[in-house]
Structure formats: structure tokens, C-alpha cells
Amino acid sequence: MMNVRNLATGLAFLALLAAGCKKDTAESATAPLAQTFSGKDDELSRLAQLAQAAARSNDVETAVVALQDLRYRPNLTAEQLTAVQDSLATLQTQLAAAAERGDPIALHAIELLRQGKRR
């Protein structure tokens, strides 16, 4: 089941990046996190902030790793999990688009997703 979920996540991520992998697009992908994790000072909020900062700087790989880490945290609320999954799906779509254009960073990120590696 985990492999199917990872594959689906990877494909969604690829599709998102195919859409553009532009700074404003990647940043908008993580917008749901701002509302869901705002006002909290805990590890979950710090991971969400890391994903947002990485997306703002177009560091899609770091954003994805942070989002994947968040996704598997058992103490997420339903709203937080939805925000994380939505952000991850949007980023994956952007990654797919960029990889389709031959973007080496996107291709590397896809390979990491396939291997299931984390930083």
C-alpha cells in the first residue's frame, strides 16, 4: 500500500512540476500550509514553514521532503493532513511538467521520489 501511495504521490508531484516549476507557482502550492499551521510553535509548524520557505526559494526538493515528512506524522489533524497532501500534489504536478521539459533539477527530484529517499 505504501508503494502505491508513494507512486501516486510521485506522479502527482511530477504532474505539478510539469505545469511550470516557477517560483510563484511553487510558492502558491504551499499556501494552504500557512493557514493550517499558523500561530503554532511546534515541530509540525516548523516543517510546514520549511516547506513554504523552500517553495519560495524554488527549492522543490526540500519542499517535497518536508511535506513527505509531515504527511506521515501521526499527530496531524484532518485539516493539516489535507493541506499537506494538497500542497504535495500541487508540487508534484509542477515537477512533472518541469521534468517533461528536461529540467535536470526536476529529473533529480523525481528520481529521489522513485527511490523513496529523504534528506
Which residue range is the domain that position 82 belongs to?
Answer: 2-115
- Average pLDDT along the chain: 77
pLDDT at 112 over 80: no
Q: What HEC string does 23-90 produce?
A: HHHHHHHCHHHHHHHCCCCCHHHHHHHHHHHHHHCCCHHHHHHHHHHHHCCCCCCHHHHHHHHHHHHH
pLDDT for res 35:
85
| Domain count along the chain | 1
pLDDT for res 25:
64
pTM of the model: 0.70
pLDDT at 68 over 80: yes
| pLDDT interval class at 24 (50, 70, 90) | low
Regarding predicted confidence, which is higher, 19 or 110?
110
**Residue 72 CB contacts under 8 Å (≥ 6 apart), including other chains:** none
Question: Which residue, 60, 66, 62, is CA-closest to 22?
Answer: 60
pLDDT for res 69:
92
pLDDT tens for each residue of 34-55: 889 887 778 999 999 999 999 8
pLDDT for res 48:
94
